[in-house]
Structure 1
Amino acid sequence: MSTTITVEGMSCDHCEQTVEEALREVSGVTGVTADRDTKQVTVDGDPDVPALVRAVENAGYNAHA
């Protein structure tokens, strides 16, 4: 199962990596792909969506599902 969330504020490779690393720590996540150009992050697995949003916000970015 895949979930797509929108992340505001990613402007470089480092931003993408930071968001991906934060999301990989969320229980149920099996894979993450961030794309700063589309502001979209695709998360594979069966995570809790509010937990994904919190993880991104704790990393310093704005997110919504």
Structure 2
Amino acid sequence: MEHVTLKVEGMSCNHCVQSVEGALKNIGASGKVDLANGTVAVEFDAQKVTPEQIKEAITDQGYDIV
């Protein structure tokens, strides 16, 4: 399994957490949002999910990766 931590802007509440974590789950990755730090720790199988797909899943929810 691969791990990546992304800095994400625009997350501020539990709904944001559910949106991001749900979007990652839908593509086959697992994510843990840290609202205090504005980060998302993602674990994924590189054979099934690409970093680009992870970023797209997050930005499709309306958040910016910095």
| Same-fold call, TM cutoff 0.5 | yes
Aligned residue for 1:57? Answer: 59
Q: TM-score, normalised by structure 1?
A: 0.82
Structure 1 residues 6-15 or 43-52, which shifts more? Answer: 43-52
Any unmatched runs of 5+ in structure 1? Answer: none
Cα root mean square deviation, aligned: 1.3
Q: TM-score, normalised by structure 2?
A: 0.81
Deviation >2 Å, runs of 4+: none
Any unmatched runs of 5+ in structure 2? Answer: none
- Residue 3 of structure 2 aligns with an amino acid whose one-letter code is S
Identical aligned residues as a percent: 34
Aligned residues: 62
Q: Deviations over 1:25-58 (max 9, x none)?
A: 124x1x2100111111011122311111111111
